[in-house]
Amino acid sequence: NAGVTQTPKFRVLKTGQSMTLLCAQDMNHEYMYWYRQDPGMGLRLIHYSVGEGTTAKGEVPDGYNVSRLKKQNFLLGLESAAPSQTSVYFCASSRLAVTGELFFGEGSRLTVL
Amino acid sequence: AQTVTQSQPEMSVQEAETVTLSCTYDTSENNYYLFWYKQPPSRQMILVIRQEAYKQQNATENRFSVNFQKAAKSFSLKISDSQLGDTAMYFCAFIGGSGTYKYIFGTGTRLKVLA
């Protein structure tokens, strides 16, 4: 059982380049989330989805876009990467909106030069 | 807005000793859920323990227990008989019961267990 899988796990970009992070879950979860983790700031919510075809903004959505065309996949896009987007990105999913445990991927370390 | 505060950036404890990690939160909701997540050096986040606000009894999972003080909006994690494998970053998290779907995390406490 793979759980939550993120690809790629590491990526180095130049300022202005674009890229997409893919999150896939095989648990049939409705809710999916993208967080970024920065030293001293914990996890901050970028975007989330409450079901296939839906997306919503979190705390720090600027500079990112997301799509949830299939229930099992949640894509995070950076259209024009900036050094401030250097971070570790985590995808998470949950079966239930509130009481459910969040299942996390292993994280994707992105460096923007 | 809901907030979660972890005031201890780093802590250390001797192996086999007990340590308590602090977490406070702010919310106007009466029904909500609180969590402690562990992030070891491997980066994989895993759930340690969960507390439902409407339950007065403190949650316990083996060596991990919480002290939930609803009136004080405090949710501390106690680790008994600390083991080297407990070395990790610990995050406190909150989600309201009103269907906001957003989990709010604290800034984390880095715990080091010393041999």
Residue B31: pLDDT band with limits 50, 70, 90: confident
Pairing between strand A73-78 and A64-67? antiparallel
Which residue's entry shows tokens 């004080």? Answer: B72
B84 phi/psi in degrees, rounded to 5: -55, -35
Per-residue model confidence as pLDDT tens digits over A27-39: 999 999 999 999 8
The closest CB to that of A43, out of B50, B91, B97, belongs to: B91
Q: Give the best residue of B35, B45, B48, B104 to mutate against chain A (max A CB count within 10 A).
A: B45
**Burial (Cβ within 10 Å: 0-12, 13-18, ≥19) of residue A30:** middle
Residue from A55, A88, A98, A106 whose CB has the most chain B CBs within 10 Å, to mutate: A98
B95 contacts chain A (CB < 8 A): yes
How confident is the prediction for chain A on average, in pLDDT? Answer: 93
- For residue range B34-80, list pLDDT tens digits in order: 999 999 988 889 999 999 988 888 999 999 999 999 999 999 999 99
CA B31 – CA B14 distance, rounded (Å) = 36
Q: What is the C-alpha separation between A45 and B25, in angstroms, rounded?
A: 17
Q: What pLDDT is stored for residue A19 in this prediction? A: 96
Cβ(B88)–Cβ(B75) below 8 Å: no
